[in-house]
Each structure stands twice: as C-alpha cells, then as structure tokens.
Amino acid sequence: TDIVLVLQVRLVMKAHSFIRENVPRVLSSVKDKSGTVPIPRISQYLYFLFAPTLIYRDSYPRNPTIRWGYVATKFAQVLGSLFYAYYIFVRLCIPQFRNSSQETFNLRGLVLCIFNSILPGVLILFLVFFAFLHCWLNAFAEMMRFADRMFYK
C-alpha cells in the first residue's frame, strides 16, 4: 500500500508540473488569438512520465547512445544493496527482536532493543536511498538517454 501511495504522489506531482508549464502557454496563445495552440505531443508527456524529473519541459538534453555497461553496473549495485540490507536485517535486527520476544516486557528491555536497532536501521535507510535515488534512477536515466543528472540538487 505504501508503494501505491508513493507512486500516486509522484504522478500527482508530475501532473501538477505538466499543467503548470502548459496552461499559461495555452492561455496566452488564446488571448493573443494566434493560429496555433502550443499543445504538447503525447510522446513528450509519456517521456516526462518515465523520466527521473519532476519538472516538465518539451525537450530534455539527451545522450547520443546508451551505455549498457553502466546500466548493468547500476542494476548490480541495486541488487548488492538489497542483499546487504537483507544481511544487516538478518544478522543485527532479527536476533535482537527474537531475544526480546522471549523475555517478559519491561521498559529497560524495550529501550535496549530500540537503541540496538538504531544503527542497523540507519544503515538500511542509507542503503535504500543509495539503491533507489542513485542507482535505480541513474540506470533508468541512462536507458532513456536522459542527460540531465542533477538528482541531488
């Protein structure tokens, strides 16, 4: 359910950007009574839906070719991050909670369990951000020949 919510938020933000960029152009051309109304093509909108950006433009800078070795490296890094997150979870988180479930509930045990889970949780959070924001988005940007790679600005 969280993934669906995140995708819906992303699509709402993209729709807002698309409308915000195109409505003023259409209204100004109608007000000026020019013969042509600058309506974007469907292919431009579809490219925007899959491009790793939230700012709509009619055209984006494009790379001339796709570097498939780079794409494979990024997907391998995503898989490596997932396996490393699984390893951290199995080695550091599950034993902590397994031990706490066998004891009677007390505040000391809860606090120790939480503090012992902070470091693995932060490591997993960093891995998820690296895997998605860096590796996944760069791999898809390369496959779409999207040249503007300013994800972090």
CA 83 to chain centre: 19
| pLDDT number for residue 151 | 54
How far is CA 32 from each of CA 21, 26, 27, 36, 55, rounded to the nearest angstrom?
18, 10, 9, 10, 26
| pLDDT number for residue 1 | 72
pTM (two decimals): 0.73
| pLDDT number for residue 33 | 77
Mean pLDDT by 10 residues, the chain (153 residues): 88 94 86 78 90 87 93 97 93 79 77 87 93 90 85 56
Residue 146, strand partner residues? 62
| pLDDT number for residue 26 | 84
> Would you list the domain boundaries of the chain?
1-60, 61-152
